[in-house]
């Protein structure tokens, strides 16, 4: 789906000022409220906007330890292990991957001992062969999408569908 310059400006506002009204977005952008609402509706329908809830901090919820756990799975059991991971509340994300392992999970914990307990729970899941854990020390680039949105908007304005902005390569 093409994201044009107005879509990019709307997405920026949604990300920077999520509690602002559509009427205020329209005022800031200098376009009709109906135009902004129609654009937001289309971006939601096309799957660009996937939610509007708050971003929560696991650390503020008492889980400051972050680890990435690679999980090797017995052949033919990927779906079952994936389903079992959904029952572990400390797993905040899980992805099927290529390379060293079959699944990559992002795990949060209260402390190192709690992390070990979570990993032991994962090891006991039927179909799990082994795990490998890497602990995060410090976040260097927080989760962000605005630079990508702006890059896509620039590429669309240029008529380029090829990817990275040549000025940043």
The tens digit of pLDDT for each residue in 115-130 reads: 999 999 999 999 999 9
Helices (H), 30-161: 33-45, 78-85, 112-123, 146-158
> Looking at per-residue confidence, does 151 or 163 come out higher?
151
The pLDDT value given to residue 161: 56
pTM of the predicted structure, to 2 decimals:
0.80
């Amino acid at each position: 789906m093409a994201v044009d310059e107005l879509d990019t400006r709307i997405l920026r506002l949604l990300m920077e000022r999520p509690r602002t009204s559509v009427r205020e977005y329209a005022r800031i952008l200098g376009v009709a409220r109906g135009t902004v609402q129609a654009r937001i509706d289309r971006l939601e329908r096309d799957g660009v906007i996937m939610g509007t809830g708050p971003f929560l901090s696991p650390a503020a919820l008492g889980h400051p330890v972050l680890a990435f756990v690679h999980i090797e799975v017995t052949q033919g059991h990927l779906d079952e292990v994936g389903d079992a991971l959904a029952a572990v509340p400390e797993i905040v994300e899980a992805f099927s991957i290529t390379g060293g392992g079959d699944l990559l999970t992002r795990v949060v914990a209260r402390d190192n001992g709690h992390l070990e307990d979570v990993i032991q729970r994962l090891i006991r899941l039927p179909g799990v062969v082994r795990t490998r854990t890497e602990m995060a020390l410090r976040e260097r680039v927080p989760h962000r999408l605005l630079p990508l949105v702006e890059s896509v908007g620039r590429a669309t304005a240029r008529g380029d569908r090829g990817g990275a902005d040549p000025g940043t390569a």
